[in-house]
Structure 1
Amino acid sequence: MPLSFKKNLPHLLVLIGFVVISLAYFSPVLQGKQIFQSDIMHYTGMAQQQKDFNSQTGQETYWTNSAFGGMPTYQLGAKYPHNYIKKLDLTLRFLPRPADYLFIYFLSFYILLLVLKVDYKLAALGALAFGFSTYLIIILGVGHNSKAHAIAYMPLVLSGIILTFRKKYIFGFLLTTVALGLEICANHFQMTYYLMLLVIVLGIAYLIDAYKKKLLPHFFRSLGILVVAAILSVALNATNVLATQEYVKESTRGKSELTINPDGSPREITSGLSRDYITEYSYGILETFNLYIPRFLGGGSGEDVGKDSEMYKFFTGIGASPIEALNETKNTPTYWGNQTIVEAPAYVGAVVLFLFVFALFLVKGRLKWWLVGGSLVSLILSYGDSEPFAFITNFFIDYVPLYNKFRAVSSIQVILELCIPVLAIFGLSRLFNQFEKDEDKLRALKYSAIITGGIALIFLLFKSSLGFMGVDFVGGNDGYYRQAYGQFGEAFVEALREDRKSFFAQDTLRTLVLVLLSAGTIFMFLRKKLSETLVIVVFAALLVFDLVGVDRRYVNSDNFVSALKVKKPYQANAADKEILKDKGHFRVLDFSSEGSRAPARAAYFHNSLNGYHAAKLKRFDELYDFHIARNNMNVLNMLNTKYIIAEEEGQVFPYTNEDANGNAWFINDLENVGSANAEIKALDSLNTAVKAVTTSELLSTKQYIVDSTATIKLTEYKPNYLKYNTSNPNEGFAVFSEMFYDQGWQAYLDGQEVSHQRVNYVLRGMVIPSGEHTIEFKFEPQVVKTGSSIALASSILFGILVLGGFFVAFKKRTNESA
């Protein structure tokens, strides 16, 4: 057996193990089933039109009319030319979803620990600790795939950075470029932004260490190399980055021109999201203990409390049959924290946190401080508007660039979920280090056992006396349940509180037992009763039992369904079938209860005003809040809303709006109202069929003669192409019932490019000369052309650098062996 193969065999076996474990956890994929993810169901509805277009034409459309009246597909899985970093990503994710993401969790973290010079057996253990962290599994269950994707590559990016700082300049540069390229390719810029915050903490720790050791030249050389790697990784993703940068300004993440709310009250002026929206999902201070005790605050917003619960007794007590009572208890609102809704606790693990605290007493140096620093920054920022840390979040929103572009601040905890397992595994590494003094190890064991075990013991013994800490088992929605259940309301809430207490006690005892077993294992090793290998095996068993046991409460085989249900999650109802008989070009608004539960359902079948996306076009979102949600028919008419799906006595039907303005029309009056506020308010009572308002500097108030013979007709339609024929004996002004987006839509009059302007806050308008003409709108985003060229050039350059890097390494090795 060649020496190199024998040396790498353990790593190959570990990787095979990761494949087996990933498939074992998501074993239904081996039966051809797929995981049902609510967010992916919404995505499927949103992206169906562009998928259909691609399958019919073999081309990619970068615009869809299926949702929100129309929007770019940049954040809907658009595929770009020369996106070779994406091809590499797809190669790495060769397993069926979501086992592919779990495998990348493992692989990426394993490489990080190897780079940190941890033994491969401990590195494999650490990979399990990271990959099975409950939050990382939960996001796969609900369909936050791009978030999971970005998190998975975080450790790999850190690996490249650390290699560079270790003077492995060539391979550090190459790995950083590839890893960061893959990270950006995941297309979840919020997670990438949080990774950047951790890298800044890491950089500060390395800078201080370099200053102390008089190695500042090396530090800045490494920094320079990493900057070049970052630039190249962005260039490999140029199209996606440039398109996102362009789109974000026009999306809900950009600055609004409005200074008023729909009710007329002053609006918060911000260059990004509103403060309330950013901090809606703020982690509670008390919720911190969820990282250590999974159902400290009751678990998720809907837990299955089972037959032995007080809730079961409550329902059977008020007359429910045993089957009915069991069904009612499957979605019990046991969570009693501050957040609006929680799928599951962000549990890091009792075993992992015990080892983390153990490491705090053994591990020294810059590694410890950037990991602890990153964890603290992550935790404090996750508190959002929770006192006493709200001022820190406010500072970041007001002064830290781009921070106000992201919501759900609690998700920044992914950073501590990365840092804590790294330091935990280093604690074990130090335990096995023969140069560490046994008395130091015993001291670390004593303190960590007292701290972690003591916290669990106090909670367990004094759970009824911790009201001063806020441990009262009272949820924010309990008042609602009292009213909802009428005369039984008080009994319902009391049963709910008892089940919360039961969860609290069960999981606190569980954590205490795991801590004692972990501490006992280390103690036995120090007393020479257990070997190093056996300790690793025991901790692997404890970790898997701990984390997988909690993970499977929330993501298990019940989440899997037939592949057909995932690929086609929506079935046409009676209203859809009736509407689909109409082969014209129009829009649909779904006001049914089914549409409310599945907001992207209408987009799956029709060009709709509904949809589901975190970054829709800002102006449409504002128009919806001001007018569509209030059923302003003049606005619905100008959007060519021909059908409204309504519901009566549980039956859906399509209401036909005979007054819809059509695809385009000539108007009598155009008024420049001067401001965005005035423009959106004017739509309150505007007869959009005969008048339009604008704020465009290129248009002035003017009246037009609309002859009875004047016509404008849509003759050809594709998502990215519209063709109209017009006939008008006079010069006219036409309004088109299409979203205005000048970063790609080009207008042509008889084949010659002409300008068009925004009217009625969201639509396109154009002056059309007298006579007969052909009008065309083509979506030709320059950003895709520019980005693709940059991506191609960057890929070629990186390929040359890879070959050069391996040549230099080969030459160096040859010289050393000569």
Structure 2
Amino acid sequence: MQFSFKKFLPHLSVLIGFVVVSLLYFSPVLQGKQIKQSDIMHYIGMAQQQKEFKASTGEETYWTNSAFGGMPTYQLGARYPHNYVKKLDSVLRFLPRPADYLFIYFLGFYILLLALKVDFKLAALGALAFGFSTYLIIILGVGHNSKAHAIAYMPMVLAGIVLTFRQKYILGFLLTAIALALEIGANHFQMTYYLMLLVLVLGASYLIDAYRKKMLQHFFKSVGLMVVALILAIGLNATNILATQEYVKESTRGKSELSINPDGSPKVVTSGLSKDYITEYSYGKMETFNLYIPRLFGGGNNEDVGKDSEIYTFFRNLGATPAQARQEAERAPTYWGDQPIVEAPAYVGAVVIFLFVFALFLVRGRLKWWLVGGTLLSLLLSYGKNLSFLTDFFIDYVPLYDKFRAVSSIQVILELCIPVLAIFGLVRLFNDFDKDGRKLTALKISAGIAAGLAVLFLLFKGSFDFVGVNDGYYRQLYGDYGQGYIDALRDDRRSFFTQDALRTLILVVLSAGTIFMFLKKKLSETLVVVIFAALILFDLVGVDRRYVNTENFVSAVKVNKPYQANAADKEIMKDDGHFRVIDVSSAGQGMPARAAYFHNSLSGYHAAKLKRFDELFDFHIARNNMNVLNMLNTKYIIAEEEGQIFPFVNEDANGNAWFVSKLTLVPSANDAIMALENLNTLEEAIYEGPNPGNGIITKRPLNLPSTYSVDSLAGITLTEYKPNYLKYKSTNTNDGFAVFSEIFYGNGWKATIDGKEKSIQRVDYVLRGLEVPAGAHEIVFSFEPDVVQTGSMISLGSSIVFVLLLIGGLWFGLKQGKD
């Protein structure tokens, strides 16, 4: 026992070091402050209603009415029964956010390098290189938490796979299963999908190696174990996966039933997102060198160029005060690459890239080829429309690739692969014999390539025009002074280009010099590690601090309550009825999830909202079609006039439910959405058939009457409201058809009339309708998704199986140790 503790002590020291470094970088968390993240601000607005419901009832609601008229909460942080993976994740992320994510970055990468049999000192160095990669820090700054979460567990998954291929079957299987469960539980399927692509590359390299070494039996045994681990990981996350799979078909990530655009022109029908949307953020080919020289293409869209900048001087010469000129200098759009918006460069590090190039000449075998293969695949796919033949092939033929946008984000794979190979450059430097002087040769070549590249950029910077794709906008924005502004901006871009190219050159020279001194036996191995740790931290943290630093932190109150009610909000909140609000003021346009924080809103902020509502918004709501706003029971419109925000009361809103006198069958979704242009939604409703579309409704009634008698006494009143439960009282002397101003979603909403379940009909493209018999009745809508019940049982069973396997694995391991 004492010996085991001593063996673990270095790792414990490293883990404590990771905790310290994580807290030091995000030191304001020690003062109780929180990082202000724009995406999290939107999330808080979207999730406020379900949070309040949980606080008041102790129950989880899987439906919210606060955004986009109503949607499931599956992608809004819903908590499911028996999801023990989340509990384990909470234990691992014990530090205050976002230091917790940085710690998991370090931890996962450290475990991967240990699995690859790297010495703990070099493994710790690699973890720092990975964790401080600029992109990984930037996404924490803007609030892409689920993305960071999924990236953090990627190395741990790879570690389990590597251990399994190394014939550490029990440990490899258990680590693969739990790491995959954590990865899937992070709920960013785009990142998990990219990890899958890297695993395929890794698997291909191991397969080729196994074939050459005649070890195919071992290979397929390992693959079999990993398949079982994958099934178990899926089972542990069954509810989330099943709910997401069910929801994605109805979201903007699924196939649309429309074949026309809002202007009536033909629409390209796809099974997922459109190619233009997928490739909007395509990495420029020349931007590849941003990985090596951080501000080669200007950095981000809002760079602080400082008082010594041309921008500052330009505004001072125009007569601006120092404060005004400083304000302009703090938000200079210096980025001039191919993408529309970039927060910061995806900088991997000059030192890390140099070590990567150095490793290319020293490392051999399958490790090198899956890391290089993953790097190249990631880079080429990140080009998107700038390498259209490859991107189009993946969109058209590779399953699920068309479900994800922002192709440049696939660079997370190279940001993982490059540091691994870079560390193995040092491993080979320290461990391999060097009878033929191969190390010195590798150093000369790699230093020549790395330093030479930086020198070339410095020598030929005059061949670049430093013109950005958005410069025309800024030229117009500043009117008569527009060209002068652009000229000053280009000068600052040129200055960044020169400064950072020179910075990279110096770092490469220092790195190469360190290795040279080691080869000449002037430095010890430990000292080399310390020097590279200092160089990597100086390099990466120096760039990271430009974009995420102490200024990003504010008091916890401002983060947890990011929105303050204005006069319009306060006036609307006096109305205790059930209705919807649309905010068309400047505040609502700038903060789309703001209204959802206070009201049941038609706006919101989400990457996967319900497709039909999104289409309705584009066709009608964005065009202020009052008939559609009325059917959505939009009682208040938050507007702005002469800088004053006020709530306009829409007296014509249809209310919560109503009986219609006419019901019209239309043949397609196209006809349905176009019919809403001039439809009197209070008198008439439309429904679609005979094509059931995506097949959600299994009991679509196609023989509904076209007319109904509605007398003056007929009516429906909402008597009880919860996000997931609505109760109505109806009165009608005749059989009727009722339209409810609630968003239709066929997977979970159930309707009863006097306790008897009835089929819900989708009407008016997005709303719910019911046939209601004559007389007085109680109508109840309840959201009871079967997928949650089914998934929870699968998760519970999988958890039991995993615990039994874990106990069995530990017992077998201990038994082998005694033998």
Q: TM-score normalized by structure 1?
A: 0.98
The structural deviation recorded for 1:40 is: 0.2
Query: 1:409 aligns to what?
Result: 407
Q: Report the residue type matching 1:158 in the other structure.
A: L
The size of the alignment, in residue pairs, is 808
CA shift, 1:701, in A, is 5.4
2:725–2:780: 8 Å Cα contact kept in structure 1?
yes
Would the alpha carbon gap of residues 251 and 152 (structure 1) be closer, same or farther in structure 2, given more than 3 Å must change?
Answer: same
8 Å CA contact retained: 2:686, 2:764: yes
Q: Which whole-Å CA distance do the structure 1 matches of 2:435 and 2:519 have between them? A: 11
In the TM superposition, 1:96-107 aligns within 5 A as 96-107=96-107
Deviation at 1:30, TM superposition (A): 0.1
Please give the per-residue CA displacement for 1:312-349, whole angstroms capped at 9, x wherever unaligned: 11101111111110111110010001111100000000
Aligned partner of 1:160 in structure 2 is 160
Matched, 1:395 2:393: yes
1:675 aligns with 2:692: no
* Partner AA of 2:706 in structure 1: K
Q: Which amino acid letter does the alignment assign opposite residue 654 of structure 1?
A: P
Report the equivalent of 1:146. Answer: 146
| Aligned position for 1:739 | 743
Counterpart check, 1:713 vs 2:717: yes
TM-superposition CA deviations, 1:78-137 (whole Å, max 9, x none): 000000011000000000000000000000000000010000000000000000000000
Q: Would you say 1:419 and 2:417 are equivalent positions? A: yes
Summarize the alignment of residues 12-31 of structure 1 with structure 2, pairs less than 5 Å apart: 12-31=12-31
Q: 1:591-670, aligned counterparts within 5 Å?
A: 591-670=584-663
The one of 475, 492, 511 equivalent to 1:499 is: 492
Q: Determine the C-alpha separation between the residues in 2 that align with 1:328 and 1:32.
A: 31
Q: Alpha-carbon deviations, 1:145-198, whole Å to 9, x = none?
A: 000000000000000001011111111110000000000000000000000000
Query: What amino acid maps onto 1:548 in structure 2?
Result: V
Q: Deviations over 1:654-692 (max 9, x none)?
A: 000000000000001000011000000000000000000
C-alpha contact (below 8 Å) 1:201/1:370 kept by paired residues:
yes
Task: Report matched runs for 1:377-776 at 5 Å.
Answer: 377-386=377-386, 389-437=387-435, 439-464=437-462, 466=463, 471-697=464-690, 698-699=701-702, 700=704, 702-776=706-780
Q: Percent identity?
A: 75
Offset from partner CA, 1:618-676 (integer Å, 9 cap, x none): 00000000000000000000000000000011110000000000000000100001100
- AA at the equivalent of 1:365: G
The letter of the residue matching 1:165 is: F
Whether the 8 Å contact between 1:725 and 1:773 is mirrored in structure 2 is: yes
SS of residue in 1 equivalent to 2:385: coil
Q: Are the counterparts in 2 of residues 696 and 757 from structure 1 also a CA contact under 8 Å?
A: no
> Residue 695 of structure 2 corresponds to which residue in structure 1?
none
Q: CA shift at 1:595, angstroms?
A: 0.7
Letter in 2 for 1:418: L
Contact residue 101 and residue 148 of structure 1 kept, 8 A: yes
Check the 8 A contact 2:752/2:779 in 1, yes or no: yes
Give the Cα–Cα distance (whole angstroms) in 2 for the partners of residues 476 and 255 of structure 1: 32
4+ residue stretches of structure 1 with deviation over 3 A? none
| 2:63 and 2:72 in contact (8 A); partners too | yes
Which segments of 5 or more consecutive residues in structure 2 lack a partner in the other structure?
Answer: 691-700
Counterpart of 2:130 in structure 1: which amino acid?
Answer: F
| 1:50 counterpart residue number | 50
Q: 1:437 to 1:36 in 2, by over 3 A?
A: farther
Per-residue CA deviations over 1:730-775 (Å, capped at 9, x if unaligned) read 0000000000001000000101111111000000001000000000
Matches within 5 A, 1:291-306: 291-306=291-306
What corresponds to 2:341 in structure 1?
341
Q: CA deviation at 1:812?
A: 1.2
Letter in 2 for 1:399: Y
1:90 corresponds to which residue?
Answer: 90
Q: Secondary structure at the match of 1:702?
A: coil
Maintained 8 Å contact 2:340/2:469 = no
Deviations 1:431-460 (A, max 9, x none): 001424461100110010000100000111
Structure 1, unpaired ranges of 5+: none
Secondary structure, aligned partner of 2:636: strand
**Corresponding residue SS for 1:578:** helix
| Aligned-residue offset at 1:486 | 2.1
CA distance in structure 1 between the partners assigned to 2:389 and 2:642 by the alignment:
50
Distance in 2, Cα, partners of 1:278 & 1:812:
52
Are the aligned partners of 2:666 and 2:689 in contact in 1 as well (CA < 8 Å)? no
DSSP-derived class of the 1:362 partner = coil
AA matched with 1:810: L
Partners of 1:665 and 1:275 in 2: CA distance: 41
Offset of 1:809 from its aligned partner?
1.0
Q: How far off is 1:481 after superposition?
A: 2.0
- SS in structure 2 opposite 1:303? coil
Deviation at residue 696 of structure 1 after TM alignment: 4.3
SS of corresponding position for 2:306: coil
Q: In the alignment, what sits opposite 1:357?
A: 357
* 3-state SS of 1:82 partner: coil
| Secondary structure of the structure 1 residue equivalent to 2:49 | helix
Structure 1: how far apart are the matches of 2:751 and 2:436?
77
The residue identity in structure 2 corresponding to 1:74 is: Y
Contact 2:747 2:785 in 1 (8 A): yes
Q: Which residue of structure 2 aligns with residue 72 of structure 1?
A: 72
Determine the structure 2 residue equivalent to 1:791: 795
Contact 1:18/1:103 (CA < 8 Å) preserved in 2?
Answer: yes
| 1:38 Cα deviation from its structure 2 partner | 0.3
CA 1:437/1:97 → structure 2, altered by over 3 Å: closer, same or farther?
A: farther
Distance 1:372 1:253 in 2: 31
1:691-736 Cα offsets, whole Å, 9 max, x none, are 0011044244510000101010000000000000000000000000
For 1:158 and 1:204, locate their aligned partners in 2 and report how far apart those are by CA, in whole Å: 14
Whether 1:5 aligns to 2:5 is yes
Q: What do you get for the CA RMSD once the two structures are aligned?
A: 0.8
Structure 1 window deviating more from structure 2 (542-551 vs 438-447): it is 438-447
**Which has the higher mean CA deviation after the structures are superposed, 143-152 or 489-498?**
489-498
d(CA) in 1 for partners of 2:652, 2:473:
42
Per the alignment, in what secondary structure is the counterpart of residue 39 of structure 2?
A: helix
Query: What is the rounded CA distance, in whole Å, between the counterparts of 2:305 and 2:733 in structure 1?
Result: 74
The CA distance in 1 between the partners of 2:436 and 2:135, in whole Å, is: 36
> Does the residue aligned with 1:672 lie in a helix, a strand or coil?
strand
Contact persistence 1:456–1:508 (CA under 8 A): yes
Q: Do the aligned partners of 1:430 and 1:436 also contact (CA within 8 Å) in 2?
A: no
Q: Once the two structures are superposed, what CA deviation does each residue of 1:213-259 show, in whole Å capped at 9, x if it has no partner?
A: 00111111111110010010000000000000000000000000000
Q: Are the equivalent residues in 1 in contact too, given 2:579–2:635 (CA < 8 A)?
A: yes
Query: Counterparts of 2:491 and 2:306 in 1: how far apart (Å)?
Result: 13
Q: Which amino acid aligns with 2:606?
A: H
Contact 2:340 2:470 in 1 (8 A): no
Supply the distance in 1 between the matched residues of 2:776 and 2:530 (Cα, whole angstroms): 81
**TM-score for both structures, normalised by structure 2:** 0.98
Confirm or deny: 8 A CA contact 1:696 1:758 kept in the other structure: no
